Chain A
Amino acid sequence: MKILDIDRVYADNNATTPVDPRVREAMVPYLQEEFGNPNSLHTLGREAREAIEEAREKAADMLNCSSGEVIFTGSATESNNHVVKGTAFARKGQGKHIITSKIEHSCVLEACEWLERQGFEVTYLDVDEEGYVSPEELKKELREDTILVSVMMANNEIGTIQPIKKMAEIVHEESDAYFHTDMAQCPGKIDVDVERLGVDMATINAHKMYGPKGIGALYKKKGVDIDPLLHGGGQEDGERSGTENVPYIVGFGKACEIVEGNWEKDKERLEKMHQRLAEKVYDRIDNVEMNGPMSPRLPGNMNISFVGVEGEALVLRLDDRGIDVATGSACSSEELKASHVIEALGKGPEVAHSSLRMSFGRFNTKEDVDTVVEALEEEVEDLRSITAMDEKGKVGD
């Protein structure tokens, strides 16, 4: 059944997802008649307050935490900046060492690099060729003055799922550091039970889970003390000032509610899709290289390099056929820099250059997968017929 009424095959759900019609429906009243400021005393205000607290409970249910541990923010980028900078400022008396990985989202990496310029010390953990951080490596790097460890749960580009529970255990056994995980890609696909995972903080956002853009959340375990980024009227229990974005918070809550009851079924469906894609591509197209592990990986995510074909060219050829995908190629970035994630796998810039990320979601069908494969087969063949690179990735004689 076609739920999303667009005349395209949208296979870029790791970039963003369409808003679920149920989410939109929940939001609409709060854009119109229910416009109150939740900080107001009157009825309209109190109704808005009630709506955001209800949404907070839905998010808490999904995360298996108490609602007092959920802070709404403006994005995953804000949540991650809040964790990195907020921990650094609050705990600088205890230490100035932070550990993260080389394949984090740029908002974590850039925040860490900024802190380095402020006198903090950051260790960037290497990953293996499938993108895994080694828990043993992490253990070795922990120090007395380590105040924060931040490792993302599932990578947005290559789909690698890190052993977060194990890492959190190590960090808590061996140090006083907080353990944070960016799990923006996970709700609806992977178990995001923060109690089971044993993390101190976790980042999520709405637009990767069929909610609106511009709204994120941070799980912060009771007793974990970090400084706010935004000071002001003391909203979100003083953790994040600024009038609450009521309609978006309501939408986010609804998106969490939908995930909570259905994610295990969705996970299976999405896994079948990315497996189908990989099997068909391997069957029909030669000289391809998968980036990230085959299984398990972020459900719905697949990342494949097509030797001799440049990613931006392939994305635009598919775009012309009504298919939306993404690439880690340097040609597609503003700074002409290849994906730091694929480069961290030690495969060289050519592999990043030729990489294509396809990510399926709630509104995709098996037929979408087949459409993508068919288009890939034709466009890869066509671009290879004009490339200056042979099947080994070498250029002429």
Chain B
Amino acid sequence: MYTKEVMEHFKNPRNMGDMEDPDAKSKVGNPACGDMMETYIKVGEKDGEKYIEDIKFKTFGCASAIATSSVTTELAMGKKLEEAEQIEKKDIAEELGGLPKIKMHCSNLSANGLHEAIYQYKKKERMEISEDLERKHEIAQKTLEKTEEMREKHGLDEE
């Protein structure tokens, strides 16, 4: 059901876990099955351009969600922010040699997480935010609201 690339990333995920003092972070969730991801980035500057100096994911999810998180960090690492913004779910799926059709939504999740972390960084630094990134931010917010709604409906956030 999964490609060997997916299984490899799933078994040996890259750049996963906590990050100390990130420059920006994001939280996204997927309403279809309740998976959640947190993305942390550190931003560096080289020749006057900002780039992803470090990136980490924390993921609650299936093998596919873990693999897409892992491969997203590899795709984004060292990229200029504007380039990283353009990493889409299809790029991630391609890099993994394809994903089961039903799991395609999971790869949306890691791209959303990356876009949202960059959005949060740019907002904090009062940088210009493109229409495209603004739109991606709205999508990320929506998926999160739906997941939280689902969790609340079932009383999961009550202590």
Contacts and interface: CB of A to CB of B under 8 A. Distances in A.
Given A348-B154, A386-B13, A332 B38 contact: no
A388 interface: yes
Interface stretch (B59-67, B81-89, B135-143): B59-67
Contacts of B27: 388, 395-396
B66 A386 contact: yes
Nearest to B69: A386
B13 A349 contact: no
B58 A387 contact: yes
B41 interface: no
A385 interface: yes
B102 interface: yes
A348 B36 contact: no
Given A348-B154, A349-B150, A396-B27, A388 B36 contact: yes
Interface of B: 7, 10-11, 13, 16-17, 27, 29, 32-38, 57-66, 102, 150-151, 154-157, 159
B36 A349 contact: no
Nearest to B16: A386
A51 interface: no
A87 interface: no
Q: List the 9 shortest-distance A-B pairs measured between CB atoms, nearest first.
A: A348-B154, A331-B62, A386-B16, A312-B62, A388-B58, A389-B60, A330-B33, A388-B38, A388-B36
B117 to A, nearest CB: 13
Contacts of B156: 348, 350, 393
Contacts of B29: 395
A395 B63 contact: no
B62 A386 contact: no
A392 B60 CA distance: 13
Interface in A323-366: 329-332, 334, 336, 338, 348-350, 353
Interface string A306-325: 00111011001100100000
Nearest to A383: B66
A74 B156 CA distance: 42
A287 to B, nearest CB: 13
B156 to A, nearest CB: 5
Nearest to B27: A396
Given A312-B63, A388-B59, A395-B27, A330 B11 contact: no
Chain B interface mostly helix, strand, loop or mixed?
mixed
Contacts of B35: 310, 331
Contacts of B60: 308-310, 387-389, 395
28 contacts: A310-B60, A310-B62, A312-B62, A313-B63, A313-B65, A316-B7, A316-B63, A320-B11, A330-B34, A331-B35, A331-B61, A331-B64, A332-B62, A336-B32, A336-B33, A338-B33, A350-B34, A350-B151, A350-B156, A353-B34, A386-B16, A386-B58, A387-B60, A388-B58, A388-B59, A388-B60, A395-B60, A396-B27
A284 interface: no
A309 B27 CA distance: 17
Nearest to B33: A330
A178 to B, nearest CB: 36
A196 interface: no
A330 B7 CA distance: 19
A336 B63 CA distance: 14
Nearest to B28: A388
A356 to B, nearest CB: 13
Contacts of A348: 151, 154-156
Nearest to A315: B63
Given A336-B102, A388-B38, A310 B11 contact: no
Contact of B10 (A308, A316, A385): A316
Nearest to B32: A336
B15 to A, nearest CB: 10
A386 B110 CA distance: 14
Contacts of B57: 386
Interface string A356-394: 000000000000000000000000000001111100111
Contacts of B32: 336
Given A312-B63, A348-B155, 17 more contacts: A310-B61, A310-B62, A310-B65, A313-B65, A316-B10, A331-B35, A331-B65, A332-B62, A349-B150, A386-B17, A387-B58, A388-B59, A389-B60, A394-B157, A395-B27, A395-B38, A395-B60
A197 B61 CA distance: 43
Contacts of A338: 33
